[in-house]
A and B are shown apart, each in its own frame.
Chain A
Amino acid sequence: MDKSITLPPDEIFRNLENAKRFAIDIGGSLTKLAYYSTVQHKVAKVRSFDHAVKEAQEDPLYEISVQEEITARLHFIKFENTYIETCLDFIKDHLVNTETKVIKATGGGAYKFKNLIEKKLKLKVDKEDEMSCLIKGCNFVLRNIPHEAFVYAKHADSEFRFQNTHPDIFPYLLVNIGSGVSIVKVESEDKFERIGGSSIGGGTFWGLGALLTKTKRFDELLQLASKGQHTNVDMLVKDIYGGAYGSLGLTGDLIASSFGKSATTDKEFSKEDMAKSLLHMISNDIGQLACLYAKLHNLTRVYFGGFFIRGHPVTMHTITYSINFFTKGEVQALFLRHEGYLGAIGAFLKGAEEDNPNQYSWGENYAGSSGLMSVSPDLNPMQRARSGTFDMLEMDRLERQLVNLPLLQDPSSYIPDTVDLTEDALAREYWLYCFEEALDGVVKRAVASQRDQPEAAERAEKFRQKYCHKLQTLRHQPFAYGSLTVRSLLDTREHCLNEFNFPDPYSKIKQRENDMALKYYQKVVKSLDELNWDQRQFALVRGLLAGNVFDWGAKAVSDVLESDPEFGFEEAKRQLQERPWLVDAYNEWIERLKGPPHKCALFFVDNSGIDIILGVFPFVRELLSRGTEVVLASNSGPALNDVTNSELQILTERIADMDPIIQTAVKEDRLTLVQSGSSSPCLDLSRLDKVLATVVRERGTDLVIIEGMGRAIHTNYYARLNCESLKLAVIKNSWLAERLGGKIFSVVFKYEVPAKA
C-alpha cells in the first residue's frame, strides 16, 4: 500500500493551526483522530442607529456590519492505520498554536503506537478505558445528532431507515462486536454495566474464516460471504425433516446445525459457501444472545457497533435478520451513522471535561462531514477518488442549548419533516433538481452581498462546487446525512455558504425590504382599524398570507421579485387563492376568536419585510388587544430572507415608536421576543432554544402559530401539539401545490385543537 500519500490538507485536517486538545482511537485497521478547534468566521451583525441624532428619511433603518466571530468545532477524522505516520508528520508540521501537552488515546492499537505518537507529536499519550470511551461517545452522538440511529432493511426502497432520537436516550443496550462481543447496559451518562458478552465475535469470523478459506483480510472474507450459499454447508431443518417442523413453527429453511453438512458429507466446500455459513452462524449467535439480554433487562433499544458491523451492509443485514427472528420483530436492531467514531469522541470528551462539552448542544456540520458510507468503494467511487480513504465528521458548538418544545404531544414520535426524500424517490428527484436549478441564483446573490470584496466571486464559485458535490453525493446516497429532506437540503446549503464566508447573503435585501415595509405600517394598521370585527379578522389573515408570498426561498417568487421589484402587497393579495382554500379552517378559527382570549400565543415568524411588518405585526396587535400575550420566536442566525432575532428587535422598536399598542405591550412585557436557536429556514420543534422553552412554560402558552412553507409545510405539517395551533402558508411551488392537490399560491390555513383527554 502506498504509505506516502499526499494529503490534501485543507480538506482533511481542517483548521489544524487552531487545534487544541487531541484524542486518538486506534483500532485494528482504522485510526480515528479527534481534535477541537476554534473557527474564525464572519457573521453579519445588525446595529440600530441612534435615531435621536439621525432622522433623515433616506437613511437605512439599521447598519449591517460583518464581524469576525469565533466558534468551537469538533473535528473527527478516520483513516487507515497505514497512513498513521504520514498523518502524524502532517499534524506536527501544522500544529502551531496549541498548548496541549497530552493526547488521550484509546483502542487496542493505542499501546502499539504509543511510542510513535509521543516521538512525533511530543505529546504524552494518556490511555483511557475503551468501553467507557465508547459509551461516552455513543451518548454524545445520540444526544446531538438527529437521525444518528437507523434500522437496516436490505430489500426496502431505502436501505437505511433513520430513527427519531427519543428525548430520553436511556436506557439502552450497546452490543459491541469487536474481536469478541460485549453487551453493555447503559442507564445514564455515567452509569453503565457490562451485563454479558460472548467470545464468538468478529475475531471468530476473521480467525476461523482465514483458516477455512485461506483468505487473510476481513473485508475479503465478507466479500466471499456475500457471494456464498450457506445452504450447501449448513444442515437445515428440511435436511432433517424433509420439510418444516410444523408443530414448533420452525420453517424448513431454518438452520438446524451450522456446518452440519460438512460433518456428514464427504465433499469439498467452496470458500464462498463456508464464509457465508460462518457469517450466519456468528450473526445469529450474537443476535440470539443480544435478545436474551434485552429480554432479561427489559430493554427495547439495542444498538450494534464494533468493527464487525462498521459500515458493512452484509453484517448489518445478517444481524438484523437474526434479531427479527429471535424477537419476532419486537426488538429492532439499530445501527449508528457515526459508530466508527464513538471511541474517539469518548476519549476526546474525557480530555475536554474542563470545556464542559456536554453542557452545550452540538450540531453536525454538513459542509465538513463525509456522509455515511463515504469510504465504501462500492457505493461511492467518486468520494473515494477525491479524498483517499479519509472520512470526516465535524460538529459545531451551538450558541444555545437546544431542547424540546414543551408543547409537543409526543416528543418521542415527533418527526419534523413532512416528506422523507430518502423513501420518496419522485420527490427526491424533484427537489434535488430544484436545488440544482436554484444554485446559480444563490451564487449570484452571494456575490452581490459582498460587492466590496473582490475575492467574493472566487469564494462563491467554491461554494457552488461544494454544494453541487453534496447534491451529487445525495443523489447517489440519499442516506448520507440521515433522512434526506427539504430541510436537510436547505440546511446543507446554509452550512456550505457559511463555510465560504457568506454568512448572510440576504442582509441588504432584508434591510431594504424592512425599510420599505415600515413606511406602510401605519397606513395598513389604520385601514384595518376602520373595518368592522368580522371584516378585520379576515383582512388580518389575508394580510398574514399575502405577506408570506414574499419569500426569496421559493424560486417562483424570487423570479418575480427579481424581475419586478414593484410587486407589492396589494398585488400579492390578488395572487392569493380565493376561499375555500386548499386547507381551510378559517370558520373554526373565527368561532374560536369569538370565545375567550388565549392566554399566550407563541408565533414562529418567517420572512423579513412585508411578511413580518405588514402581515405578522398587525395580526399580533389584534391578539394583544384581545388580551393575549405574544411571544415572537425568530431565528438566532440568518437563513435566506428570514427575519433574525437581532433584526426583529430593531423592527419591534421602530414599530413601537409608531404604535402605542405595541409600545405598551413591549413595556408591560406582554410582547416578548425570543430566539428559536435555529439558523434554518425550517423548524425542528425538538431542537429549540432552552430559553424559549422556559418562556413557553412560564407563560402558559395555549396557542402556537407557525407561518411559512419552510416551517409549516416542509416541516411540522403533521406535528401534534398539546395546545391549539395555527399553521398557515402560501404554497409558492407548483410541484408541491400539485402534490397537495392544489395550484401555485394555494393557501393552507390549518387550525387544530388537541382532542380532549
Chain B
Amino acid sequence: MKLKDIRKPAFPWFGMDIGGTLVKLVYFEPKDITAEEEQEEVENLKSIRRYLTSNTAYGKTGVRDVHLELRNLTMCGRRGTLHFIRFPTHAMHRFIQMGRDKNFSSLHTTLCATGGGAYKFENDFRTMADLELLKLDELDCLIQGLLYVDSVGFNGHPECYYFENPSDTQNCVKQPCCLENPFPMLLVNIGSGVSILAVYSKDNYKRVTGTSLGGGTFLGLCCLLTGCETFEEALEMASKGDSTNVDKLVKDIYGGDYQRFGLQGSAVASSFGHMMSKEKRDSISKEDLARATLVTITNNIGSIARMCAVNEKIDRVVFVGNFLRINTVSTKLLAYAMDFWSKGQLRALFLEHEGYFGAVGALLELLKSSEDP
C-alpha cells in the first residue's frame, strides 16, 4: 500500500491554465482520506483544501463553478471531487502572493501550468513565491483534458451536446450526445482569441489557423461601446438587444432577397453598417450594440470554422472555450451557422466544461508524470 502511494504525486493536485483574460484552475479534492492520512496531513495543505472547498468565491474576482464539479471521480487511484475555479488573469499577482503567504513551496508538489501565462508568469512564481512551474503546451493540454472529461462523463450525464433543429428557432433544443469515436474533429477554442485545430487522434493534431476576433474582442468592444465592465454584464445586455438596428441587412440594401446570389434578405450584409449614418447612431441602445457585437464576432468565428472544416474535410466541429460560457446566443448561432451554410453537412458540438479543458489537461500531466517514473 505504501509502496504504491509513493508513485502518486503529493497533494494538493492542481492543474492551471493561464489565458489572456482568465486563469482556469482545477483542483482535485480527495474524498477518501484515511484517518491516518488526515493526521499526517500538514496544516497548510489542510487549510488550502478547506479554503477552496468551503467557499464558492475567492477575493473580489475568483469564482468556483459549483455546477461543473465532477463528483465521485477516481483519478490515479484516489476518489474525490474535481473543482473548477476561475479568476481574471490581471489578478495573477495576487494569486502568486497568496501562494507565498500559504507557503505553498513547502508542499513538495509540482505546479503544472499551461496557457501563455505559464511562460509569462514563470519568473514571478519563482521570485515571488519560490515556486517552480512545470510548463505545458496549451493545445496538448486542451486535447488531453477534453478527451478525458468526455470519457468520464458529467456526473452520469454526457459531457457533449448539440442543438436539434438548429435552423428553426422555435424548435431548436439542446440535446446531450456522446462524443464516441471523436476523430477527426475540428476543435475551435474560443478564448480571448481563437485557435482552430484539426484533431486526427489522441496525439495527432495540427493548428489549422486562428483569428484575433474572439472573446476578448467581444468584451473589449462591448466595454468601449457600452461602458460595461464584465462578460456577464455584456452578455446580459446582449440578450436584450436587437442587432438589426445596428447591422445592415441584405434587405436594407436590396429591399428583399438578393436572388442573383441566393442571399436571404435577413442575412447581415454589413455588420455595424447602419452605424455609418449619424441618425441611426443616435437612435440605438447599448443593448443593441452589445447584441450586434456578439452576433458579429460569433458569425465570423462560425464562418472561419466552417471554411476550415470544408478545407480539412472534417464534418464535426467542436466548439470550446470560455466565450461560450452562459452564452446560448452564441452557441445557438454557431449551431445554426454550421447547419445552414453547409446545407446540413456540418454539425456543431459543444461541451459542458467549455473553458476548463486546458487546466484538466495540465492536471493529467501532473498525474502522468508521476505514474511513469
Interface residues, chain A, with chain B CB atoms under 8 Å away? 108, 129, 131-132, 178-180, 182, 194, 196, 198-204, 206-208, 210-212, 216, 233-235, 237, 239-243, 245, 247-248, 255-264, 266, 269, 274, 281, 284-285, 288-289, 292-293, 295-296, 326
Interface check B207, CB cutoff 8 A: yes
Residues of B within 8 A of A129 (CB): 260
**CA gap between A108 and B116 in the complex, in Å:** 46
Q: Name the contact of A258 in the complex, choosing from B213, B261, B274, B278 (C-beta under 8 A).
A: B213
Q: Name the contact of A263 in the complex, choosing from B19, B116, B220, B263 (C-beta under 8 A).
A: B220
**CA gap between A371 and B122 in the complex, in Å:** 57
- Are the CB atoms of A264 and B303 closer together than 8 Å? no
- Are the CB atoms of B220 and A289 closer together than 8 Å? no
- Are the CB atoms of B223 and A262 closer together than 8 Å? yes
Tell me the interface secondary structure of chain A in the complex: helix
- Are the CB atoms of A179 and B192 closer together than 8 Å? no
**Which residue of A has the minimal Cβ distance to B341?**
A196
Residues of B within 8 A of A262 (CB): 220-221, 223-224
Residues of B within 8 A of A258 (CB): 212-214, 216-217, 220
**Which residue of A has the minimal Cβ distance to B214?**
A257
- Are the CB atoms of B192 and A260 closer together than 8 Å? yes
- Are the CB atoms of B276 and A210 closer together than 8 Å? yes
Besides A179-B248, A194-B262, A266-B229, 18 more A-B contacts (Cβ < 8 Å) are A199-B268, A206-B272, A235-B192, A235-B193, A241-B117, A241-B120, A245-B116, A248-B139, A255-B193, A258-B216, A260-B20, A261-B220, A263-B219, A264-B21, A264-B89, A274-B224, A281-B213, A292-B209
**CA gap between A256 and B269 in the complex, in Å:** 26
Interface check B315, CB cutoff 8 A: no
**CA gap between A650 and B373 in the complex, in Å:** 100
Q: Name the contact of B116 in the complex, choosing from A202, A204, A234, A237 (C-beta under 8 A).
A: A237
Quick one: given A131-B261, A262-B221, A293-B307, are A203 and B278 in contact (CB under 8 Å)?
no
Interface check B225, CB cutoff 8 A: yes
- Are the CB atoms of A243 and B224 closer together than 8 Å? no
Chain B contacts with A in 11-27, Cβ cutoff 8 A: 19-21
Residues of A within 8 A of B120 (CB): 240-242
B 11-49 to A, binary, CB cutoff 8 A, 1 in contact else 0:
000000001110000000000000000000000000000
**CA gap between A242 and B118 in the complex, in Å:** 9
Query: How far is the CB of A383 from the nearest CB of chain B, in Å?
Result: 29
Interface check B159, CB cutoff 8 A: no
Q: Name the contact of B220 in the complex, choosing from A179, A204, A245, A259 (C-beta under 8 A).
A: A259
Residues of A within 8 A of B21 (CB): 257, 260, 263-264
22 pairs of residues in contact across A and B, judged by CB atoms under 8 Å: A129-B260, A196-B303, A196-B307, A203-B270, A203-B272, A204-B270, A206-B272, A207-B276, A210-B278, A211-B281, A212-B225, A235-B192, A240-B192, A241-B116, A242-B119, A258-B214, A258-B220, A260-B21, A260-B217, A262-B220, A281-B217, A289-B303
Residues of B within 8 A of A264 (CB): 20-21, 88-90, 216, 220
**CA gap between A656 and B193 in the complex, in Å:** 81
Residues of B within 8 A of A237 (CB): 116
- Are the CB atoms of B220 and A132 closer together than 8 Å? no
Residues of B within 8 A of A245 (CB): 116
Interface check B109, CB cutoff 8 A: no
Residues of B within 8 A of A196 (CB): 303, 307
- Are the CB atoms of B307 and A240 closer together than 8 Å? no
**Which residue of B has the minimal Cβ distance to A205?**
B272
Chain B contacts with A in 128-146, Cβ cutoff 8 A: 137, 139
Query: How far is the CB of A446 from the nearest CB of chain B, in Å?
Result: 52
Residues of A within 8 A of B310 (CB): 296
Interface check B330, CB cutoff 8 A: no
